[in-house]
Amino acid sequence: MNKTSYKKHFLILSVLLIVLFFVNISLGSVMIPIQDIMAVLMGENASKESWEIIVLNFRIPKAITAVMVGSGLSVSGLLMQTLFRNPLAGPFVLGISSGASLGIAFLLLGSSLFGGFLVSSSFTHWSLPIAASLGAFLVLSAVIIAANNVRNTMSILIIGLMFGSFTAAIISVLAYFSEASQIQQYVFWSFGSLGNLSWQELFIFAVFYFVGIIGIIPIIKPLNSLLLGENYAKSLGIHLQKTRNTILVITSILTGVITAFSGPIAFVGLAVPHVARMFFTTSNHKVLVPATLLLGAIILLICDIIAQLPTSEFTLPINAITALFGAPVVIWLLVRKKKLFV
């Protein structure tokens, strides 16, 4: 595929992203015409005052969250698949999401074991993101320490999976001693959500998101080198330990902040990089990184539109919809036995 074809593909995806962004804002339990959405964005009055509140305080933050979550998880999955040269690696293989889940579990389920402090703290506005962030940070620290003490990249993958199993075991123990209402609270969080962020929370989310995305730019060349093996990357003068740590930190920042603010949203990070490779038929990260960002945002916007059940007051768990999309893609890839790294 030549540069002209890439430009056409990126143009199509960019237009599709903009269209879906406005469709996502328009649809929901209350359908809002596009012209009223444009009026609100331009500082004018909508046909109904309630529509202005819905658009500014709920729909736009939710759509922006969907874009950042979808693109962030997708590019994290791409980084993991490149680092481990494993097509089934995803953003959660390091155990960062499990660490965030453990932080939430201590907050929501731990009151039975740890007393009233956790009960009172669970009512603060920032308690869930803070608890998830602390859990993710602890696991990140452990993974980075382990990564600096092993030479084999696959060992890091196994260590991450072990951290995931370890935290899952602790969560199971906490759940065993918890009340039904606490377990229900935790289960609802684990479904994932895109629509609970205020503008203040969204700003903090965006800061960490852009730090992670900007951090990818200097390592695009090393990422391409890693596809041909670590020995080849060394021969090009790539500092493997530094590159590996950078990839781990970027993935951890993106995965950690997404899990902290939106919950553990599965399958997007695993499936979208493969869709990008097939759509652009390349393994060049100069193309794949922006392609994965665009496709991840587009796909999660579509999933969110479906989850809203337009014109209905019910909203399906976003995790259920992403799994319905992601699982068939992965199965299809395995059944076709297509070469996943072009």
Tens of pLDDT, residue by residue over 27-71, are: 888 888 888 888 888 878 877 888 888 888 899 999 999 999 999
Q: Write the CB contacts of 311 (distance below 8 Å, at least 6 apart in sequence).
A: 29, 31
Residue whose tokens read 């962004």: 21
> Can you tell me the mean pLDDT for 161-178?
88
Element (H, E) at 8: helix 3-26
**pLDDT beyond 90 at 122:** no
Residue 124: pLDDT band (50, 70, 90) is low
* Residue whose pair of structure tokens reads 């093996």 in the numeric block: 229
Look up residue 327 and give its amino acid: A
CB 132 within 8 A of CB 260: yes
Burial code of 188-227, b = ≥16 C-beta within 10 A, e = fewer? ebbebbbbebeeebbebbeebbeebbebbeebeebbbbbb
DSSP of 165-227, one letter per residue?
HHHHHHHHHHHHTS-HHHHHHHHHHHT--SS---HHHHHHHHHHHHHHHHHHGGGHHHHHHHT
Which two three-digit tokens encode residue 179? Answer: 């009340």
pLDDT value at 113 more than 70 = no
**Residue with tokens 């199965």, as numbered in its chain:** 331
pLDDT at 292: 96
Residue 340 banded pLDDT, cuts 50, 70, 90? low
pLDDT at 248 over 90: no
* Pairwise CA distance, residues 314 & 174, whole Å: 30
- With a CB cutoff of 8 Å and minimum separation 6, the contacts of 192 are 262, 263, 264, 265, 266, 317, 318, 319, 322
Q: Classify residue 311 by its DSSP letter.
A: T
Q: State which H helix or E strand residue 296 sits in.
A: helix 285-307
88 or 55: whose pLDDT is higher? 55
- Is residue 317 packed enough to be buried (19+ CB in 10 Å), middle (13-18) or exposed (0-12)? middle
Q: Which of 136-140, 144-148, 211-215, 269-273 has the lowest mean pLDDT?
A: 144-148
pLDDT in tens, 256-313: 899 988 988 988 988 899 889 888 888 899 999 999 999 999 999 999 998 887 777 7
DSSP assignment string, 23-90: HHHH-SSS---HHHHHHHHTT---SSHHHHHHIIIIIHHHHHHHHHHHHHHHHHHHHHHHHHT-TT--
Lowest mean pLDDT of 9-23, 133-147, 190-204, 242-256, name the range.
133-147
Structure confidence at residue 99 (pLDDT):
87
- Whether 105 shows a pLDDT value over 80: the answer reads yes
**Using a CB cutoff of 8 Å and minimum separation of 24, what contacts does 288-291 make?**
288/78, 289/75, 289/78, 289/216, 289/220, 290/10, 291/9, 291/10, 291/13
CB 329 within 8 A of CB 274: yes
What mean pLDDT comes out for the span 9-16?
94
CB-based burial of residue 130 (10 Å sphere; 0-12 exposed, 13-18 middle, 19+ buried)? middle
Which domains, from first to last, does the chain contain?
14-33+60-91+198-342 (1.10.3470.10), 93-191 (no CATH)
Mean pLDDT throughout 113-125? Answer: 51
Question: Which of 135 and 230 is assigned the larger pLDDT?
Answer: 135
Mean pLDDT value across residues 80-93: 85
Asked whether the beta carbons of 45 and 53 are under 8 A apart, the reply is no
pLDDT, residue 291, reads 95
What is the average per-residue pLDDT within 240-248?
86
Tokens of 256: 């950690």
Tell me: pLDDT of 337 over 60.
Answer: no
pLDDT in tens, 182-233: 888 888 888 888 888 889 889 999 999 999 999 999 999 888 888 877 777 7
Phi first, then psi, for residue 36 (nearest 5°) are -75, -35
